[in-house]
């Protein structure tokens, strides 16, 4: 039996084409990239794109299939996980989203569609702590993010890390999940720093 992974928003706002292509492989730096099944890393991730990017991706290759306003990419990212593009009407506006769905789970696409609509229908802009962390990871340049290696305690190895600025002490690495609220805020764009917190989406 297939269990649905946690569906999660990984970028706040509407991604540009450059941002979209960077987020297609947010985990490219992971250790042992070619040695394990990366499906759990990607399946369930989603973010918003523009109408132009949605059209561009539809035309780049013949889709694997189309179902109304939803289509899937023919090329799989890993295992049975591929890009699925959603065009959804939310609060009267047509919006476009990219998500990674595990097509071996027949309910994955509908679960993601429902999760996106539910998350984006909130009347007040807000971000959960996990969404803030995912945005930090998505928007940090590769030179300033990575994974804990052999110099870290064994329990930390393989976890995501980001570079922080420590004032007079210079820069240092810290596990993404261990960032304080103040450190997260410092890594977010100004317009996102003061959004109210929400329960995890």
- Tens-digit pLDDT profile for residues 104-142: 998 999 999 999 999 998 756 778 889 999 999 999 999
Of 60, 118, 121, nearest in space to 85 by CA: 60
Q: How confident is the model at residue 15 (pLDDT cuts 50, 70, 90)?
A: very high
Better-predicted residue by pLDDT, 82 or 1: 82
Quote the pLDDT of residue 85. 97
pLDDT at 165 over 90: no
- Look over the chain and give the mean of its residue pLDDT values, rounded to a whole number: 86
pLDDT tens-digit map of 168-185: 778 888 999 999 988 998
pLDDT tens-digit map of 20-29: 999 998 888 8
pLDDT at 1 over 60: no
Quote the pLDDT of residue 77. 86
The residue whose two tokens read 């009267």 is: 92
Residues 6 or more apart from 120 whose CB is under 8 A from it?
A: 48, 88, 90, 91, 95
Distance CA 134, CA 114 (A): 20
pLDDT at 3 over 50: no
Provide the angle, in degrees to the nearest 10, between the axes of the packed helices 51-60 and 17-24: 50
User: Burial, 125: exposed, middle or buried (Cβ in 10 Å; 0-12, 13-18, 19+)?
Assistant: exposed
Q: Count of CB atoms within 10 A of residue 131's CB?
A: 22
Quote the pLDDT of residue 2. 33
Quote the pLDDT of residue 99. 97
Return the percentage of the chain with pLDDT > 70, whole number.
Answer: 89
Q: Is the dihedral of CA 21, 26, 32, 36 positive or negative?
A: negative
- Termini Cα distance of the chain: 24
Of 46, 42, 43, 45, nearest in space to 4 by CA: 43
Return the percentage of the chain with pLDDT > 90, whole number.
Answer: 52
**Rg of the Cα atoms in the chain:** 17
Q: How confident is the model at residue 201 (pLDDT cuts 50, 70, 90)?
A: very low
Ordered by start, the domain boundaries in the chain are: 8-120, 129-192
Q: Is the dihedral of CA 61, 66, 69, 72 positive or negative?
A: negative
pLDDT at 87 over 60: yes
* Predicted TM-score (pTM) of this structure: 0.85
């Amino acid at each position: 039996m297939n269990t649905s992974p946690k569906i999660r928003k990984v970028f706040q706002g509407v991604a540009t084409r450059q941002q979209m292509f960077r987020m297609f492989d947010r985990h490219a730096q992971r250790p042992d990239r070619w040695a394990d099944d990366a499906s759990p890393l990607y399946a369930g991730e989603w973010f918003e794109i523009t109408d132009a990017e949605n059209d561009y991706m539809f035309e780049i290759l013949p889709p694997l299939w189309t179902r109304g306003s939803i289509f899937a990419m023919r090329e799989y990212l890993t295992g049975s996980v591929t890009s699925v593009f959603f065009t959804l009407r939310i609060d009267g506006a047509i919006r476009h989203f990219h998500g990674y769905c595990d097509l071996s789970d027949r309910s994955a696409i509908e679960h993601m569609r429902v999760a996106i609509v539910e998350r984006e229908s909130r009347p007040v802009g807000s971000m959960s702590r996990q969404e803030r962390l995912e945005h930090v990871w998505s928007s940090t340049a590769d030179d300033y993010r990575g994974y804990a290696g052999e110099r870290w305690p064994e329990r930390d190895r393989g976890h995501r890390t980001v570079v922080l600025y420590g004032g007079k002490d210079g820069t240092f690495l810290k596990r993404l999940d261990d960032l304080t609220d103040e450190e997260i805020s410092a890594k977010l764009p100004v317009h996102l720093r003061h959004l109210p917190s929400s329960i995890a989406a």
